[in-house]
Amino acid sequence: MPLPRFDRLPAERREHILGAARRHFAEHGAEGASYNKIIEAAGVSKTAAYHYFDGREDLLNAVLDGVLGRLLDALGPWEPAHDEDDFTARFAAGSTALATHLGGHPDDLALADAAIGRTCGGPWLDWFGALVADGRRLGLIRADVDHDLMVSATAAVIRAADAWALARMTTAPGTGDPGAQLWTLLCGLWGAPAAGQEPNDAH
């Protein structure tokens, strides 16, 4: 977490620093970006930088927290579905909104997997917990597997599919329908029939 002095900076200044860091981490990787080059690009002295963050990892965590927050904002909260068709439509809408955000924010796209991968719980898994609970309520997701295990497995499948789809967005944009393949994987995991249940607009 940033140090208190960083939180007292004006919002524009905070975003300028985090934006510079986000660009460097996106370009050079979460592990490869230079802390000295980041603070230089942000126009921050080394002395001031250590008043704002404990170090490079602290700054990286702040950047990845921001990325994850924007991914969740794009998804929006999971709202209970009325029926099976509404469930698939809501899932497709969230997936499309997330893919649209990532397509328009290349820095978030580059850091999405790192942001998701560092979470052991919290709001990211909470979103999938709501999804799984709703699917079970509607009889669309099997109930013979522990809830927490099903949530973790669902999140893992979607993360793997997202990483694959995000790579395609970078190297071969506009090709194929990764959403259909993701939905087939999920239907197999959930114990629901895949045929005829593909939300065509999912990522």
Instruction: Quote the tokens at residue 113.
Output: 């997997």
Instruction: Quote the tokens at residue 178.
Output: 């990764």
> For the residues 56-60, what does the mean pLDDT come to?
94
Three-state SS sequence of the chain:
CCCHHHHCCCHHHHHHHHHHHHHHHHHHCCCCCCHHHHHHHCCCCHHHHHHHCCCHHHHHHHHHHHHHHHHHHHHCCCCCCCCHHHHHHHHHHHHHHHHHHHHHCHHHHHHHHHHHHCCCCHHHHHHHHHHHHHHHHCCCCCCCCCHHHHHHHHHHHHHHHHHHHHHHHHHCCCCCCHHHHHHHHHHHHHCCCCCCCCCCCCC
Any idea where the domains of the chain sit in the sequence? 4-65, 66-190
What pLDDT score was predicted for residue 142? 93
Q: Of the ranges 82-86, 89-93, 159-163, 165-169, which one carries the lowest mean pLDDT score?
A: 165-169
> For the residues 2-19, what does the mean pLDDT come to?
93
- Please check the confidence at residue 111 and state whether its pLDDT lies above 60: yes
How does pLDDT run across 30-47, given as a tens digit for each residue?
888 999 999 999 999 989
> For the residues 14-24, what does the mean pLDDT come to?
96
How does pLDDT run across 112-150, given as a tens digit for each residue?
888 988 766 688 899 999 999 999 999 999 999 999 999
Average pLDDT, the chain: 86
- Please check the confidence at residue 202 and state whether its pLDDT lies above 60: no
Give the CATH class of 4-65.
mainly alpha
- pTM of this prediction? 0.81
What percentage of the chain carries pLDDT values higher than 90?
55
